[in-house]
Amino acid sequence: MKIYDTPGFPNPARIRIVLAEKGIDQLFTFIPVDLIAAEHKQPPFLAKNPNGVVPVLELDDGTHIAECVAITEYLDNLDGNPVLTGKTPREKAMVHMMQKRADDWMIDGIGGYFHYATPGLGAALEAHKSPDWGGRKEWGGRQLEKFKTGMRYFDGILARSPYLAGAQFSMADITVYCALLHAAFVGITVTDEYPALQAWQATVAERPSVKNRSGQ
């Protein structure tokens, strides 16, 4: 099986952590995609994922699976023992609820800020991300506020629970952790204003799957 991604970016990092948590890294070949040159917006890659984003999982039968949640569900259930997406109906519901919030507020928020209120990944990608250059900083600022709303929300959740969806580390935790990696890249860190989130980030950073994730 193959995974098309770019090491060091937040969404690829999500899947690399999943692979490490499941202990199945060795089953996959990683195919690098040049985001700076907008390779993911070109026809050969769009044939694999018409949304034009990484990562993409390619199965041995040629099937392409895109979107981090879908890839995580597939990988987590390969062995019949899901540990990141929930086992019981309640666990699954909690994980997916927190995952949706993590994507909306954290991943999307900091991604919008990065692409619209900073230089982003450069000119080659700009046409795909910000066709209306004039309003990009104002819009990016609103995305940053959305991201900070997410930080406040998840700080409150983590003040009451060790992980986002309950007692178990899940894909929602991976999503928020990788959003914070992206934020740190543009100088936005978890300050003392968010003590529970700060402590959780330090704990997650010590997980073997996070410390040793491939390609970082």
User: Looking at per-residue confidence, does 111 or 120 come out higher?
Assistant: 111
Work out whether strand 29-32 and strand 2-5 pair parallel, antiparallel, or are unpaired: parallel
The pair of structure tokens assigned to 132 is: 């209306």
Domains, in order of start, for the chain = 2-77 (3.40.30.10), 89-208 (1.20.1050.10)
Q: What is the pLDDT of residue 131?
A: 45
Q: What is the pLDDT of residue 116?
A: 75
User: What backbone phi and psi angles, to 5 degrees, belong to 213?
Assistant: -60, 140
Rounded Cα gap, residues 135 and 77, in angstroms: 43
Using one digit for the tens of pLDDT, what is the confidence trace for 137-158? Answer: 777 787 888 899 999 999 999 9
Q: In the Cβ-directed half-sphere of 153, how many Cα atoms lie within 13 Å?
A: 16
Using one digit for the tens of pLDDT, what is the confidence trace for 40-73? Answer: 989 999 999 988 899 999 999 999 999 999 999 9
Q: What is the amino acid identity at position 20? A: A
How would you write 48-80 as a 3-class SS string? Answer: CCCCCCCCEEECCCCCEEECHHHHHHHHHHCCC
The pair of structure tokens assigned to 66 is: 């895109």
- The answer to whether the predicted template modeling score (pTM) of the entire model surpasses 0.95 is no
Q: To the nearest whole percent, how much of the chain has pLDDT over 70? A: 92
Using one digit for the tens of pLDDT, what is the confidence trace for 70-109? Answer: 999 999 999 999 999 999 999 999 999 999 999 999 999 9
CA distances from 34 to 6, 38, 41, 99, 156 (A): 7, 6, 10, 27, 37
